[in-house]
Amino acid sequence: MLATHIQALQTMLGEKGLLAARADMEAYETGARYDKGKAAFVARPASTDAVSAVVAYCVEHDITLIPQSGNTGLVSGSTPDASGNEAVLSLDRLADLFELDPVNRTVKVGAGMRLSDLNARLEEHGLFFPIDLGADPRIGGMLATNTGGSRFLRYGDVRHNVLGLTAVLADQAGTVLDLSNALRKNNTGVDWKQIFIGTSGAFGIITECVLNVVPLPRQSATALLVPSDTSKVPALLLALEDAFGSYLSALEGMSGNALRAALDHVPSLRNPFQASTAPEFAILLEISRVNAPREGEQPLDAMLEEVLALIWEQEEGLLDDAFVGPPHELWALRHALSEGVKHSGRLIAFDLAFRRGDVMRFLDQMKAQLPDHFPGVTICDFGHIGDGGVHFNLVVASDDPRLADERFELALRDWVFAVCVNEFQGSFSAEHAIGRKNQAFYDRYTPQELRKLGAALKTITSPGPLGSVDFGTMEN
């Protein structure tokens, strides 16, 4: 029967549109972080109409489709399971559409376009899509997971920067829902596009996107700050926001363990710290302006130094050290953290969010309690101090025998999530959305009333088998 389906879809999509050989499918079956499944086939439609046709066929024949964008997700949301029964629907051929409206400051793109390709084309017009990520995802996946990034503090997340989209529903008709209106103000009813943003493709497959774009900063300045104590970070955050206002574009926290991992893994990085080793915690601060330098206007480097000097002199003693450095060097260090941590051992990663004042309290509690609960596990955290997001990474030595028992990682996740959600009222998924890795925690921490609403939305929008996430059941 599978051969019949493959032949029918091959006829529908053409030679490039359907992959069935094991070697050809391997890249689509292997996730960005340890996950690997087995696909029945990989469909690669090149238009919204083709996506509709594939979806309608698969719904008719009860074939589960796993939408996949850039396959850079970290929670196993875009890879098939190990059964060999699920098929991947890849967006990688939906990459040609690019319609820029410079007056409206919007761009309509295919969901398969890479973030780097989008920004390369926008740069010619002095614009960019202001979601800064270490990875290079495709735009459809960014919408499906509602990514945030390092400049959330200034520009918000993906949801904040989407004006419209087109989605294909998993019903018998493969219904195409055109929500691509580029209006910035439109209160004529339910904002239906929001159903498809941040919901991992469960309610429909995004094929086209209308995005808000903003002027490229033409001036920027960066500094590394070493707070005198982690308890002083909230006061430091408020002081910086008060001093810089809308110029403040990033405030990234980096633990000493994460910094050392990056410096060890990437020898080309310059160690910016005067001592031979990194401090236990540092903050990357960025301020920026969109206008070109004007005569008589204070340069941003000078403004940065002036404000930091004033903060340094305050009685609160917020800083132990601070120095201004070249943006490209300091951002290179920040962007090397993920790779550095990943190469330090087996990575068990968490994407958490807290009220801003709770971030450092959570991290301090983890550092105090983790050795008693899970000895030999190293915390290598970094994150977005300005928005409360934390990439809480735990590293275990690759040869640690505990890794052979899957109950070890499950117990570790149980404990961390319980502290995050129950003690701090935080989120167990700040910007990675829901995938197979955290399905059980969605089930545990989401109220039954909301799970029933999720099930109802699924029934209405895409009753066919779509996606790797179960948002709930309508049963009591």
Q: Each residue of 61-111: pLDDT tens digit?
A: 999 999 999 999 989 999 999 999 999 999 999 999 999 999 999 999 999
| Pair (13, 81) in one structural domain | yes
Residue 34, pLDDT score: 86
Residue 54 corresponds to which tokens in the numbers above? 């594939």
3-state secondary structure at position 297: coil
| CATH assignment of the domain containing 323 | 3.30.70.2190
| Pair (292, 227) in one structural domain | yes
- For residue 465, being part of any structural domain is answered with no
| Pair (325, 312) in one structural domain | yes
| Pair (231, 316) in one structural domain | yes
Give dist(CA 458, CA 436) in Å, integer.
Answer: 17
- For residue 440, being part of any structural domain is answered with no
Residue 131, pLDDT score: 95
CB 356 within 8 A of CB 336: no
Where the chain has pLDDT below 70, the residues are 274-276, 474-476
| Pair (208, 223) in one structural domain | no
| Pair (189, 227) in one structural domain | no
- For residue 170, being part of any structural domain is answered with yes
Domain carrying residue 230: 219-335
| CATH assignment of the domain containing 415 | 3.30.70.2740
Give dist(CA 85, CA 38) in Å, integer.
Answer: 8
| Pair (191, 223) in one structural domain | no
Residue 267, pLDDT score: 87
- For residue 450, being part of any structural domain is answered with no
| Pair (223, 205) in one structural domain | no
Residue 121 corresponds to which tokens in the numbers above? 């084309």
Residue 316, pLDDT score: 80
End residue of a domain, out of 187, 215, 243: 215
3-state secondary structure at position 13: helix
Task: Identify any residues that bridge with 251 across adjacent strands, giving them in sequence order.
Answer: 285
Domain count of the fold of the chain: 4
Residue 344, pLDDT score: 92
End residue of a domain, out of 185, 215, 245: 215
- For residue 177, being part of any structural domain is answered with yes
Residue 167 corresponds to which tokens in the numbers above? 């989605």
- For residue 458, being part of any structural domain is answered with no
| CATH assignment of the domain containing 136 | 3.30.465.10
| Pair (156, 232) in one structural domain | no
Q: Which amino acid is at 312?
A: W
| Pair (11, 79) in one structural domain | yes
- For residue 442, being part of any structural domain is answered with no
Give dist(CA 156, CA 14) in Å, integer.
Answer: 40
| Pair (148, 80) in one structural domain | no
- For residue 461, being part of any structural domain is answered with no
Residue 476, pLDDT score: 52
| Pair (166, 125) in one structural domain | yes
